Amino acid sequence: MSEYVAPLKDMRFAMQHLAGLEQIVNLPGCEEASPDVVDAILDEAAKFAGQVLSPLNRIGDTNGAQWRDTVVTTSPGFKEAYRQFVDNGWNGLGCDPEFGGQGLPKLLSAAVSEMWKGANHAFSLCPMLTQGAIEALTIAGNDQQQADYLPKLVSGEWTGTMNLTEPNAGSDLAAVRSRAEPVGDGTYRIFGQKIFITYGEHDMTDNIVHLVLARTPNAPEGVKGISLFVVPKFLLDDLGNPGARNDVYCVSIEHKLGIHGSPTAVLAFGDNGGAIGTLVGEENRGLEYMFIMMNAARFNVGLEGLGDAERAYQRAVTYARERIQGTEVGTRGGPKVPILCHPDVRRMLMSMRSRIEAMRALAYVTAGAQDIAHCHPDEGERLRQQAFVDLMIPVVKGWCTESAIDIASLGVQVHGGMGYIEETGAAQHLRDARITAIYEGTTAIQANDLIGRKIAREKAVTIKAVMAEMRTVAGQLDDDLSVIGARLNVAVDALEKAVLWIVDHFAAEPKAVHAGAVPFLYLMGIVSGGWQLGRSALVARDQMRAGDSDPFWAAKLATARFFADHQLTQAAGLAQSVIEGHASLQAIPDECF
Contact call for residues 228 and 173 (beta carbons, < 8 A): no
**Residue 535's closest CA among 348, 392, 365?**
365
* Res 165: pLDDT: 86
Round to whole Å and give the CA distance between 260 and 271: 28
Mean residue pLDDT of the chain comes to 95
d(Cα 295, Cα 370) in Å, to the nearest integer? 12
Which residues on neighbouring strands pair with residue 179, listed in sequence order?
A: 191, 215
| Beta-bridge mates of residue 248 | 269
User: 379-415 and 343-375 are packed helices; what angle lies between their axes, rounded to 10 degrees?
Assistant: 160
163 occurs within a structural domain:
yes
Band of the pLDDT at 174, cuts 50, 70, 90? Answer: low
CB 431 within 8 A of CB 58: no
pLDDT at 142 over 90: yes
CA dist., res. 305 & res. 312, Å (int)? 11
* pLDDT bracket for residue 168 (50, 70, 90): confident
Catalytic center residues: 440
Asked whether residue 148 is domain-assigned, the answer is: no
239: which DSSP letter?
T
Domain termination site, one of 284, 313, 335: 284
For residue 531, is it within any domain?
yes
* Mean pLDDT of all residues in 421-434: 97
Cβ contacts of 269 within 8 Å, gap of 6 or more: 178, 190, 191, 192, 193, 194, 212, 231, 247, 248, 275
* Sequence-distant (≥ 6) Cβ neighbours of residue 419 within 8 angstroms: 411, 412, 413, 426, 427
According to the model, what pLDDT value does residue 204 have? 98
360 falls within a domain: no
Q: Could you read off the pLDDT of 374-405 as tens digits, one per residue?
A: 999 999 999 999 999 999 999 999 999 999 99
In a domain, residue 166? The reply is yes
Q: What is the pLDDT of residues 279-319, one digit of tens each?
A: 999 999 998 888 877 888 899 999 999 999 999 999 999 99
| CATH code of the domain covering residue 188 | 2.40.110.20
Dihedral (C-alpha) 545, 369, 101, 8: value to the nearest 10 degrees?
Answer: -30
Q: What's the mean pLDDT in 579-590?
A: 90
Asked if 467 and 495 count as a contact pair (C-beta separation under 8 A), the reply is yes
Q: How confident is the model at residue 175 (pLDDT cuts 50, 70, 90)?
A: confident
Residue 511 backbone phi and psi in degrees, to 5: -65, -40
Decide if pLDDT at 170 tops 80: no
Half-sphere exposure of 225 (CA within 13 A, CB side): 15
Is 588 inside a domain boundary? no
**CA nearest neighbour of 127 among 157, 100, 97:** 157
- pLDDT single digits (tens) 85-123: 999 999 999 999 999 999 999 999 999 999 999 999 999
Confirm if 253 and 264 have CB atoms less than 8 A apart: yes
Give Cα separations from 549 to 8, 17, 181, 481, 542 (angstroms). Answer: 19, 18, 69, 18, 11
Distance separating alpha carbons of residues 207 and 241, to the nearest angstrom? 9
pTM of the entire predicted model: 0.96
What range does the domain containing 541 cover?
443-582
Q: Residues of the chain with pLDDT > 70: what percent?
A: 99
Domain boundary at 250, 266, 284, which? 284
Alpha helix (H) residue ranges in 64-206: 78-87, 106-119, 121-140, 143-155
197: β partners = 265
Beta-carbon contacts of residue 72 (< 8 Å; ≥ 6 apart): 65, 66, 201, 202, 203, 250, 253, 263, 265
Where does a domain end: 265, 284, 303?
284
Rounded percentage of the chain residues whose pLDDT exceeds 90:
90
**What 3-state DSSP class applies to 281?**
coil
- The answer to whether residue 331 sits within a structural domain is no
- Checking if the pLDDT of 490 tops 70, the result is yes
Sequence-ordered strand ranges (E) for 153-207: 159-163, 179-184, 187-198
What pLDDT does 31 receive?
87
452 found inside a domain: yes
Q: Rounded to a whole number, what is the largest CA-CA distance in the chain?
A: 86
Average pLDDT over residues 499-525: 97
The residue type found at 200 is G
Please name which of 236, 224, 348, 369 lies closest in space to residue 299, comparing C-alpha atoms: 369
- 584 vs 176, residue with greater confidence: 584
Range 180-190 average pLDDT: 93
Q: What pLDDT, on the 0 to 100 scale, is given for residue 330?
A: 85
For residue 124, is pLDDT > 80? yes
What is the mean predicted confidence (pLDDT) over 443-470? 97
**How many separate domains does the chain show?**
2
- Give yes or no for residue 229 having a pLDDT over 90: yes
Number of H helices, E strands in the chain: 20, 12
Measured from the Cβ of residue 339, the count of other Cβ atoms closer than 10 Å reads 21
CB 339 within 8 A of CB 327: no
SS3 104: coil
